[in-house]
Structure 1
Amino acid sequence: MRRLGIAVLALSLSACSTLDPYTGEKKVGNSTKGAGIGALAGAVIGAATASKNDREKAILTGAALGAATGGGIGFYMDKQEKALRDRLAGSGVQVQREGDNLRLIMPGNITFQTGSAQILGNFYDVLDSVAVVLKEFKDTSILVAGHTDSVGNDSSNQTLSERRAYSVKNYLASAGIPSGRAQAIGFGERYPVASNSTAQGREQNRRVELELEPLK
């Protein structure tokens, strides 16, 4: 088992820490984290499935394969994240990273008029930029989620959130994203990110989010 620790440590550190282009600070890349997790999983599987005589070799082989798989996904999402940040800089759309998943947060004030599911004309270029990246990085699934504030009744907010989500999904389809690759869902007012007791909070809650997840 000592070999297990050495293999995992070596493979986890094989990708050096990098300079974050947005904060200027050193960080461990997501591809490195993914390699470490993959190495550990591969090593454990190798140890559990091999015979006693072949266990050390199986641990090392499993760790190497796991690191390559985990690091590959992280590196792929790293590149997609950078492409999205570059194209969406100054657009008002936030790009967030959660492990190997990406989330694009599109505020309601720049995407739709109040109470409407019609996309604002000046937001088409932003969605076109998103579509360019999504067409380049095809190995990700897309969930388009609509959210509202708490003004109005639950039923109307639910309907509005669904219509807005489908508006974005349909526009992406018209821009060349296969409709089967994306799903649309409305959450109404159920998942606020800020307090609905203030105008600023309600503005943050009115949003559409694109959740991008790697196909594994």
Structure 2
Amino acid sequence: MQISRKITAGFAVLSMLTVSACVTDPNTGEQKVSRAAIGGLGGAAAGALLGGLIGGKTGRIVGAVGGGAIGGVVGYRMDQQIRELRDQTAGSGVDVSEVDGAILVNLPDGVTFATGSYSVSPGFQSLLDRVATSLQQYPNSLVDVYGHTDTVGSSASNQRLSEQRAQAVSNYLISRGVSSSRIRWMGFGETQLKIPTGDNVNEPMNRRVEIKIVPLTQAEIDAARN
């Protein structure tokens, strides 16, 4: 009962954040976190939010478990999924690493989108197919998709492009069978540069899509069920 009350309270807090920080994309009806709302949270709060999961963890677990999207695999091993993802993307330029207890799949410029485009090309599709297969094989996780650009062009156009790219990758993963209740997306534009530069030499390193896979423990899943 105590666990149930904690989850209910956590979900209430999440709902307050969601109402104030989420916006609906006019083209798709999908929800994302408003960057304007995040800016209003303050630096420390925004850092905590972006360092965790878009929209918070507790409510998303409850929603995914309630929708039957997670909870079907026992004995999950993150190191095994990382190893398999590295094998499946070897030689493609994709980097798979462990960051703060999560799996970060970095899809750099050159394997993602054509310049100025957010259309998922055939070559990019094959890579995303492998990621989607992994996400289906290991369903006990939540997934964030982040879009990033360089500083070429206006900040407003870069922000929009990063959002379109993050949404395109999310939609593609969903089209390949990954439950939409597990996925959220966000565009960062040119605000999260890997290499701060304006020389147009190292700029390609800033153009990337990141897929963050956050594994869930059996205890978290059981708590959400209760």
TM range (shorter): 0.5 to 0.7
Report runs of 4+ in structure 1 exceeding 3 Å deviation.
none
Encode CA deviations 1:161-200: one digit per residue, 9 max, x unaligned.
0000000000001111011111010000000001322334
The superposition leaves residues 119-160 of structure 1 with CA deviations (integer Å, 9 ceiling, x where unpaired) of: 122111111011111111111111000000011111111100
- 1:181 maps to 182
| Structure 1: runs of 5+ lacking an equivalent | 1-71
TM-score normalised per structure 1: 0.63
- Cα distance in structure 2, aligned partners of 1:198 and 1:183: 33
- Equivalents in 1 of 2:210, 2:148: separation in Å? 8
What TM-score does the superposition give when structure 2 sets the normalisation length? Answer: 0.61
Alignment of 1:126-165 (within 5 A): 126-165=127-166
**CA RMSD of superposed structures (Å):** 1.6
CA contact (8 A) 1:101 1:213 kept: yes
Matched residue SS, 1:95: strand
Give the Cα–Cα distance (whole angstroms) in 2 for the partners of residues 190 and 121 of structure 1: 28
- Per-residue deviation at 1:94? 0.6
Secondary structure of the 1:143 match is: strand
Q: Which residue of 1 aligns with 2:89?
A: 88
- Once the two structures are superposed, residues 78-134 of structure 1 have per-residue CA deviations (whole angstroms, 9 ceiling, x without a partner) of 111111111111111111112421101101222111111011221111110111111
The structure where helix makes up a greater share of residues is: 1
Give runs of aligned pairs for residues 53-202 of structure 1, distance below 5 A: 76-202=77-203
- The Cα of 1:204 is off from its aligned counterpart by 0.5
1:177 maps to a residue whose letter is V
Name the CA distance, whole Å, in 2 between partners of 1:196 and 1:162: 22
Q: Which has the higher Rg, Structure 1 or Structure 2?
A: 1
Q: Percent identity?
A: 40
8 Å Cα contact 1:128/1:175 also seen in 2: yes
1:97, 1:103 within 8 Å by CA — same for their partners in 2?
yes
Q: Is the 8 Å Cα contact of residues 101 and 211 (structure 1) preserved in structure 2?
A: yes
Contact 2:151–2:198 (CA under 8 A) maintained in structure 1: no
Within 5 Å, give how 1:45-56 maps onto structure 2: none
Question: Per chain length, whose mean CA-contact separation is higher, i.e. which structure has more relative contact order (CA < 8 Å, sep 6+)?
Answer: 2
Distance in 1 (CA, whole Å) between partners of 2:86 and 2:199 is 29
Kindly tell me: are residues 132 and 155 of structure 1, through their superposed partners in 2, closer, same or farther at Cα, counting changes over 3 Å? Answer: same
2:168 and 2:197 map into 1 onto residues whose CA distance is 24
Aligned to 1:204: 205
Gapped regions of structure 2 (runs ≥ 5): 1-73, 218-226
CA drift at 1:205: 0.3
**For residue 35 of structure 1, what is the aligned residue in structure 2?**
none
